[in-house]
Amino acid sequence: MSLASEAPKESFRLSMLIYDTRYRSYTIQVAVLVLLLAFLGWMTDNTIKNLAERGKDINFNFLWQRAGYDIDQQLIPYTNDSTHGRAAIIGLLNTLLIAFIGCIFATIVGVIAGVLRLSKNWLVARLMTVYVEIFRNVPLVLWIILIFVVFTETYPQPRDFRLTDEMVAAGEEPKESMILGAIAITNRGSNIPGPMLDRPLPTIEIATVPISLSAVAFLVVVAGSVLVNRRILARAKAIQEDTGLRPTTWWQSLLVLFAPAIALLMAMGFHLEYPEIKGFNFTGGIAVNHSFTALLVALILYTGAFIAEIVRGGILAISRGQTEAAYALGLRPGRTMNLVILPQALRVIIPPLISQFLNLTKNTSLGIAVSYLDLRGTLGGITMNQTGREMECMLLMMGIYLTISLLISSLMNIYNNSVKLKER
């Protein structure tokens, strides 16, 4: 009686890297990687040699040189005596600010327009169609310039808000008055009340960037309030699943979300500083340039038109039977859309929505058309022209935009994974 034995293992040979399917894919990948690295090395060496022939080298020391130019819109302190590196940080913060606000409001506009495009009201549906088609088919830079011209040419001058002693004696009123007595919109920009603290926490510097501990404390309190509120809602949901009755939690949510933040602000002496006309312009409060406003409005309306089509496509991807089943249960159309259709449509909407967020972030560079100094205007504009360091500035900008895009993609992919179907 013979016993079956295992076949002897074949010894490894170099030819197996090509002819054996177990190793061939790895061989191809390694070969492609080597060729790519060799190409990148050749490009880098060739670039360095060509720069050396022209008396240039790759050097980032210019970031510590004096910038010598002003930036109107700034989130942290900056003067023309600051360095080019600090100017680049100012531009980066301006880019992040307008991208963050733009993504939020473009999503709101896009969702509303996308839902209304499917409205049974013929007029509303046609109006949304006109909005989508007009903004999608005109270049974004033209919208930015048009909105900027409208702001600068149609609004009054600051002097029209001035009330002189002669006007008071004659019983006359100024030509223009502030909105709600607190907001002034002129051809130079918008002046709105600004937050002030009588007893602020100290400010520390990390890598020459000032960090307000007051702002950090406020964000920590808000984040803690949100986490506590989520636990309250989770507990209410658990009770509802066990007993069928959901406890009243709205007053607890309001108390947890707002009371700690309000208490902190009161402890730090929070108040608003209102803009006042002095001399030839307004002082006090927060001055928002029309370049910022025009770029933000154009990005919101332009990107919102694309998001509207994404939302409409996501809704149409949901079976009509879902809507009919919701109506059969007695749900109204609004509740059906919010509770049944949109949650399912998110699985279709999120992937292309990520691309629109990335496009909006990169399109902020078009703000240079209206002199909005973001990363493109500072590092890739004035700094590059003053220092002559084109290669370094371009490499830095490419790396920064790539990092921002990857972060946005990662965060949205995390959210996309949280809403996708979970198979059992």
If pLDDT is split at 50, 70 and 90, which confidence band does 248 have?
Answer: confident
* Alpha helix ranges (H) inside 365-423: 375-377, 383-387, 390-419
Helix (H) or strand (E) holding 144: helix 140-154
Q: What is the pLDDT of residues 37-84, one digit of tens each?
A: 999 888 888 877 887 787 777 788 888 888 888 888 888 888 888 888
Count CB neighbours of 285 within 10 A. 21
User: What was the pLDDT predicted at 173?
Assistant: 80
Task: Return the CATH number of 58-136+289-424, one of 3.90.1150.10, 1.20.1090.10, 3.90.190.20, 1.10.3720.10.
Answer: 1.10.3720.10
User: What would the mean pLDDT of 151-170 be, rounded to a whole number?
Assistant: 82
Q: What is the pLDDT of residues 116-157, one digit of tens each?
A: 998 888 899 999 999 999 999 999 999 999 999 998 888 888
Q: What was the pLDDT predicted at 205? A: 78
- The DSSP bridge partners found for residue 329 are none
Residue 139 has which token pair? 């270049």
- Return the pLDDT at 263: 92
**Distance between CA atoms of residues 378 and 90, nearest Å:** 8
Confidence check: pLDDT of 424 > 70: no
User: Which of 359, 393, 357 has its CA nearest to residue 378?
Assistant: 393
For residue range 279-323, what is the model confidence (pLDDT) as tens digits?
A: 778 888 888 888 999 999 999 999 999 999 999 998 888 888 888
Angle at 309 between CA 423 and CA 110, to 5 degrees: 95
- Per the CB < 8 A criterion, the answer to whether 184 and 196 are in contact is no
Q: pLDDT digit string (tens) for 178-232?
A: 887 788 888 888 888 888 888 888 888 776 677 888 888 999 999 999 999 999 9
pLDDT digits (tens, 9 = 90+) for 327-353: 888 888 778 887 888 888 888 888 889
According to DSSP H, which parts of 54-187 are helical?
Answer: 84-116, 122-136, 140-154, 165-169
pLDDT category, 271, cuts 50, 70, 90? confident
> Average pLDDT, stretch 382-394?
87
E strand or H helix at 83, and its extent?
Answer: none
State whether the Cα torsion 264-269-272-278 is positive or negative.
Answer: negative
With contact defined as beta carbons under 8 Å apart, do 134 and 165 qualify? no
Q: Determine the straight-line distance between the first and last CA of the chain, rounded to whole angstroms.
A: 49
Give the pLDDT score at 163.
Answer: 77
pLDDT for the residue numbered 422: 62
In 122-262, which ranges are E strands?
A: 184-185, 189-192, 194-197, 203-206, 209-212
Q: Which two tokens stand for residue 5?
A: 């034995």
pLDDT of residue 81: 87
More reliable by pLDDT, 77 or 33 = 33
Q: What's residue 304's pLDDT? A: 94
Give the start-to-end residue ranges of the domains of the chain.
58-136+289-424
Q: Is residue 2 over pLDDT 60?
A: no
Q: Does residue 366 have a pLDDT over 70?
A: yes
Is the pLDDT confidence value at 90 over 60? Answer: yes
Predicted local confidence at residue 262, as pLDDT: 92
